[in-house]
Structure 1
Amino acid sequence: MEVRIRAPAKIILAGEHAVVHGSTAVAAAIDLYTYVSLSFLSPSENDQTLKLQLKDVSLEFSWPVARIKDAFPNLDSSVASSPSSCSLETHKSIASLVEKQKILEANIGLASGVSAFLWLYTSILGCKPAKAVVHSELPLGAGLGSSAALCVALSAAMLSLSDSISIDFSQRGWQIFRDSDLELVNKWAFEGEKIIHGKPSGVDNTVSTYDDLAITENEEKMGELMEMNQGLLQCMGVSHSSIETVLRTTAKYKLYSKLIGAGGGGCVLTLLPTLLSGTVISKVIAELETCGFQCLIAGIRGKGVEVSFARSS
């Protein structure tokens, strides 16, 4: 049995810096996804390892189950239904396991995500031999919640193979989780985010977990909100020359844009009105790509985390 999960990216239309301090933000899921497939290794494979494959960077990590058991002598996967934070002692054990993978300096930013994987897996499923494969449509570190989508997808996959949530294995195609199961997925994802970011707001994993977050304003009001928020971000000094180039380019076509994420680079969100012609969109994209930017088109209609299953042949 292989479980497949997809968790969406997120955008914040307003309040990305204030939300870290407990204020409200306006956020939504978009239809760009991180995918995780997870399956237990069968006894016939005679492979007592835990594997993690990151397809987008062509990397694979593996840990002998015996080594994991040595690192966590008091491991108890029965805590899957009761999420808890990673202790300092456990964090050190995880760091040691990750360090043995000898991740190259060029990929060192991936280490925290690998650590989150180990923490979530051992907490939810214990030391069972398994293989997880990760693929993402999200650029890393661009303000789209890539780490949160990863933690949500990992948590959902692991919980789906545990006894902590109920799934209809006979249903074909993508299916949604029950509300109570989504709550458990979200709590574990938040714990994974804490390993990666230290003190996350929890907004990113919450948006990625739950179904469509309604955007009730019309397009013009939404654009005005974005423009106002961008002005505030510029006053805070978190814009960047590249961001300003994107803003000037899209402004020529009377489109609203704002930076997303922490600023200083990353992504710029541009609102494409429903009635905007494809010709104009193509012109904007062509001009931005000429300046060296990568353009992604996504709808503000991304569902929350979803699950599907594939039977072993």
Structure 2
Amino acid sequence: MTQHTAPFVVSSPGKVIIFGEHAAVYNRPAIAAAVSLRTYLHISESSDPEEIMLEFPDIGFTHKWKLSDLPWDTAEKYHMDKPQPTDELVPEIVSELANALVDISNSVHYAAAYSFLYLYVCMLKRSSQGYRFTVRSTLPIGCGLGSSASISVCLAAALSLLGNHVQRASLKATDANKDNEDSMFIDSWAFMGEKCIQGNPSGVDNAVATHGGAVMFQRTLGSAPSVRTTMRSFPPLRLLLTNTKVPRSSAKMVGNVGRLNQEYPKTTTSILDAIDSLTREGYNIMIKPFFNDSAKSRLSELFEINHGLLVALGVSHPALERVRILTDELKIGKTKLTGAGGGGCAITLLNDDAEESVIQELIKKYQSLGFETYETTLGGKGVGYIEVSDSFPYTAQDFVEFEDRNAIDKAMNAGSLEWRFW
């Protein structure tokens, strides 16, 4: 296998829940799909070969570590020619990494550094030289859009290349997605990164961020793993993603639904069963190899129904309803909340005949309410790779200096024909 050297860039998408949020807590299926908003990770050689550096301007974080301060003796007990993730985080590695994280007090910074260092010592060897890892994202952070999984996938992909554990990505953007040994390896290590950040993740976010497309997932009773069905032929769909910027607590929303389920079990069960049914209906629509106007119309109707059922469960919010009402008034698509609700984000499946001028009018109305709206595509590619070259000449410092997500998008899309995917 050819040795992979820096500099290069890896990238991974975020995700939205299309159908089935909250019902998924009660062992019913839900569907998540990749969005075209992505995280980008630039890897270059460190100015000091004995030092590694993680910088993440979007969250105001930069930190350096001496390679000699990392717990290599413990980590290398678990090293093989091709390292394989353990079922759980290794307690000895976690304990010894605490010394390298002791001076980080911000919880978001701590989570990013913890995931980074854990994957680094598990996937590379102490003989590896120092590298500079620079993260930029067009995804809003901490809004339920899979930003942490997107970062974990980028880290896992980069370290897989640096550790010589996978081949370079080879699929073009127009090639069909397919499972392969390398993408599954990246996914498995990204899941370990998610464990560092989320504690007990479902594995859905990292699966979507690695493989792209869409995934139907369903929890099982007891300790059995969730059932995941990858939807490779998922059609790319135009979407508006609107962040209301209203803080929400997933735990609080889940707790409220739990209370309703205890007090009104027959009513709540009927609502959850209805969400179950429409999720399966959506799945059947989206896995067909052809996706015509009739299928798109039915999917829009399911958006509307799913939102209404979530309103009945008490997990909407006046800000989310404003998003939906404005969409309805301009008749350009159907809107539903996505994720836990109580604030956060809404997604609008746009009609094919929606005029750009009307979309921009809607976005301006959202902005006047303090919302932030992204035009994006549902479905699409998973984790990708591009070499830094004359046609894609960006340095780590360029990454740091990108002014905003539009600047990041413009720069990263400049090399669109050269991106390859696993």
Residues 250 and 284 in structure 1, CA contact (< 8 A), matched pair in contact too: yes
Q: Name the residue aligned to 1:116.
A: 115
Selected match of 1:97 from 90, 96, 100? 100
Structure 2 counterpart SS, 1:36: strand
Q: Name the residue aligned to 2:305.
A: 228
Q: Name the residue aligned to 1:256.
A: 334
Structure 1 residue identity aligned to 2:329? K
Query: Does structure 1 residue 219 correspond to structure 2 residue 296?
Result: yes
Residues 3 and 161 in structure 1, CA contact (< 8 A), matched pair in contact too: no
Q: Name the residue aligned to 1:202.
A: 203
Residues 37 and 134 in structure 1, CA contact (< 8 A), matched pair in contact too: yes
**Number of residues of Structure 1 aligned to a counterpart in Structure 2:** 303
Q: How far 1:286 moved relative to its partner? A: 1.1
Residues 16 and 34 in structure 2, CA contact (< 8 A), matched pair in contact too: yes
Q: Name the residue aligned to 1:294.
A: 372
- Output the CA distance in 2 between the equivalents of 1:229 and 1:93: 46
- Output the CA distance in 1 between the equivalents of 2:131 and 2:191: 23
Structure 2 counterpart SS, 1:156: helix
- Output the CA distance in 1 between the equivalents of 2:387 and 2:33: 27
- TM-score for both structures, normalised by structure 1: 0.87
Q: Name the residue aligned to 1:6.
A: 11
Identity among equivalent positions (%) equals 32
Which ranges of structure 2 fall in alignment gaps of 5 or more residues? 1-5, 215-233, 236-285, 396-422
Q: Pairwise CA RMSD of aligned residues? A: 2.7
Residues 98 and 115 in structure 1, CA contact (< 8 A), matched pair in contact too: yes
Residues 34 and 134 in structure 1, CA contact (< 8 A), matched pair in contact too: yes
Q: Name the residue aligned to 1:39.
A: 44
Greater relative contact order (Cα 8 A, min sep 6): structure 1 or 2?
1
Which ranges of structure 1 fall in alignment gaps of 5 or more residues? none
Do the aligned partners of residues 177 and 39 (structure 1) sit closer, same or farther apart at CA in structure 2, a change above 3 Å counting? farther
Structure 2 counterpart SS, 1:86: coil
Residues 167 and 177 in structure 1, CA contact (< 8 A), matched pair in contact too: no
Selected match of 1:307 from 359, 366, 385? 385
Q: Name the residue aligned to 2:190.
A: 189
- Output the CA distance in 2 between the equivalents of 1:168 and 1:286: 39
Moved more, 255-264 or 139-148: 255-264
Q: Name the residue aligned to 2:66.
A: 64
Structure 2 residue identity aligned to 1:155? A
Structure 1 residue identity aligned to 2:344? G
Structure 2 residue identity aligned to 1:193? E
Residues 169 and 385 in structure 2, CA contact (< 8 A), matched pair in contact too: no
- Output the CA distance in 1 between the equivalents of 2:100 and 2:318: 40
Q: Name the residue aligned to 1:150.
A: 151
Q: How far 1:168 moved relative to its partner? A: 6.7
Do the aligned partners of residues 173 and 201 (structure 1) sit closer, same or farther apart at CA in structure 2, a change above 3 Å counting? closer
Selected match of 1:242 from 313, 316, 319? 319
**Deviation sequence 1:261-288 (CA, Å, 0-9, x none):** 2222221111112211112101111111
- TM-score for both structures, normalised by structure 2: 0.66
Q: Name the residue aligned to 1:53.
A: 55
Residues 7 and 42 in structure 2, CA contact (< 8 A), matched pair in contact too: yes
Structure 2 counterpart SS, 1:304: coil
Q: Name the residue aligned to 1:160.
A: 161
- Output the CA distance in 2 between the equivalents of 1:22 and 1:90: 33
**Deviation sequence 1:167-219 (CA, Å, 0-9, x none):** 279x9999999711000111111111122112211111111111433142622
